[in-house]
Structure 1
Amino acid sequence: MLRLLALVLLLANAGYFAWTHGLLADYGYAPAAQAEPQRLAQQIRPEAMQLLTAADARQLENAPAPTAAAQPAPECLQAGLFTPEQSTALRTGLESTLPIGSWTLESGVEPGRWIVYMGKYTSEDALAKKRAELRGLGVSFEALVNPALGPGLSLGHYSSQAEAERELAKAATRGVRTAKVVQERPEARGQMLKLPAADAATKAKLEALKLQLAGKPLQSCNS
């Protein structure tokens, strides 16, 4: 009886050894495979892995957390003046592009502009000769804003006729004899666009309104 029991145990051990070592796999008897080679294919840049020392780990723990890039602060911008027709088109575009309350269209006035004027000259050669003469006198000059006054020169622009007259008298003391005061631009009234707090997102949306802005540049409200 003991011999039979020992023989059974021996056969059982032999069978277990053969099963665990895959010797019975051809007959459909084998333990479940523990290897998972598909996980190797899922690794992302395993060569970039690094083993850190205790000092490296402490340094990483104490390092400050990365912060988002600072965004420019919103600023007040304005553009204008716009005629009634331009204002209507601009309002329509603004209402469909920017949030309500982020912009306003307000009545505005652009004051008249007076200049100390020299011209009109009969040719570009005559204009060039006058420029050279003014340089010789040490008198500065600037281009004209109103093309209807060209070819000619401005010796300075002013917000009132009285101020321009005073500057004309000063120019005469320096040898300027043929200048006069004229109104280069009359007073204008219209609508002024104002954006009290234009951030980067608002400025990006305004790119879609170039046509409605009619070439009027956006400027700082403090300019």
Structure 2
Amino acid sequence: MLRGLVIVLLLANALLWAWRQGWLGDAGLGAAPSGREPERLAQQVEPHRLRLLNPPGAAPAPPDVAAAPATAAPEAPANDTPSAPADAAAGPSALPAEPRRCWQLSALPAAQAEALRRSADTDSALRGRVTEIAATLAPRWIVYLGKFPSAEALQRRRAELRQAGIDQREVNVAALSPGLALGTYSTEEAARKALQDVQRQGVRDARVVQERAETRLLTLRWPDLTAAEYSRLQAALGAAAKGLQACP
């Protein structure tokens, strides 16, 4: 029995070797592999167009050449010319800006300020460029002597008051001049108390009057004026231009 098994194995090996050699053909055992492979050659399309990249005996291509892409985008040529400054592209350098200043007429009564504003607006270059800052001047009362009939009479009375040690000053309000103020107060009540003290010092003809009522004041400002515009403002304001001052 062992001999029969050996004979079967030998026959199987012989058949396998004959099939690998192609001797059995297609006799029910499938296509035998062949080094010639005629069936593959029959399936080729336009075999004459095939080209071997590395034919037998040729040296292998360098790694960097083989890995290089078929076409490389050309690099842009380097520009050695330094870039021009941004302001040069815009044209010639601009001239320095002309200096400007702010000018004002401060603490004017409202009626006077409005008149001067209208005068300045007659110049088209200044029209609408004024700004107003409002303020209120508090009322004021004084212990008053006057009116005196003349400036000489006022000076004689001043000498008497200085000799008695009583402080005084001249009143510049047109309705009360020539006259003297023996004290200035923010309320009428304070002025009446001071009047009693003056009367005890022997000044019998003094009285309390309001030197100034509550007054609304306006400051007129013309910002950002060039030297030429400032000259035009002076011409438009006339004599009042003497009060122009630089804004703080």
TM score, norm. by length of structure 1: 0.48
Q: Which has the higher contact order (CA 8 A, sep 6+)?
A: 1
Larger Rg computed on CA atoms: 2
